[in-house]
Amino acid sequence: MDKEQYSKLVKKHTPKEDRFLNAVKAFVFGGLLGVLAEAIMELIRNVFDLPILDATVWMMIIFIFSACLLTALGVFDKLTNFLKAAIIIPITGFAHSVTSAALDYKQDGLIQGIGSNCFKLAGSVLLYGIIGAFILVLVGVLINV
């Protein structure tokens, strides 16, 4: 009986609505970021008369620059608390992880600090991205041969 009451109490106080709210926030703000990306790309494409591919790369560079700057200013972590996964999953999350790792280890010097640690978090993205892509290319080639 006591246990049941306890588990009920736990269930009651587990932030269930919070999870739902987090998911909604991630969806809405993530979506808005996607729209913003498309809008910036269109703007660059029209203003500078560039092909879509170049404009897309400029758009990504702008996002990366903003993420690095916001991280260095200490704003990005506060944004993450509010926007949740919405700014981690886009390329901004990658830029943030490199900048924050580099900043955290800045005190250890240029080589042992920044150099050794800047890919501490982003390294897994590069590693598994390249390994995954490599294996898939091999698989695709073997299937088609």
Partner 1 sequence: MTYIYAFLFVGFLCLIAQVIIDNTCLTFGHVTSMFVVLGAVLGFFDIYDKIIELAGAGASLPITSFGNLLYHAGLDGYLENGILGIFQNMLTTTSAGITATIVFAFIMTLIFKPKD
Residues 103-132 that bind partner 1 (CB under 8 A): 103-104, 106-107, 114, 118, 121-122, 124-130, 132
Rounded CA separation 129/5 (Å): 47
What's the residue count for the chain?
145
Say whether residue 43 binds partner 1 (CB under 8 A).
no
86 SS3 class: helix
Nearest approach in angstroms of CB 89 to partner 1 is 5
With contact defined as beta carbons under 8 Å apart, do 98 and 65 qualify? no
Rounded CA separation 23/41 (Å): 27
> CA 128: distance to chain centroid?
15
Rounded CA separation 20/22 (Å): 5
Total number of residues binding partner 1 (CB under 8 A)? 74
Instruction: Return all residues near 51 (Cβ < 8 A) that are at least 6 apart.
Output: 45
Nearest approach in angstroms of CB 2 to partner 1 is 27
Say whether residue 9 binds partner 1 (CB under 8 A).
no
Among 7, 65, 108, 112, binds partner 1 (CB under 8 A): 65
Nearest approach in angstroms of CB 40 to partner 1 is 8
Which is closer to partner 1, CB of 3 or CB of 101?
101
Judged by CB under 8 A, the chain residues 69 through 98 that form the site for partner 1 are: 69, 71-74, 84-86, 88-91, 93-95, 97-98
With contact defined as beta carbons under 8 Å apart, do 90 and 30 qualify? yes
Among 6, 47, 64, 111, binds partner 1 (CB under 8 A): 64
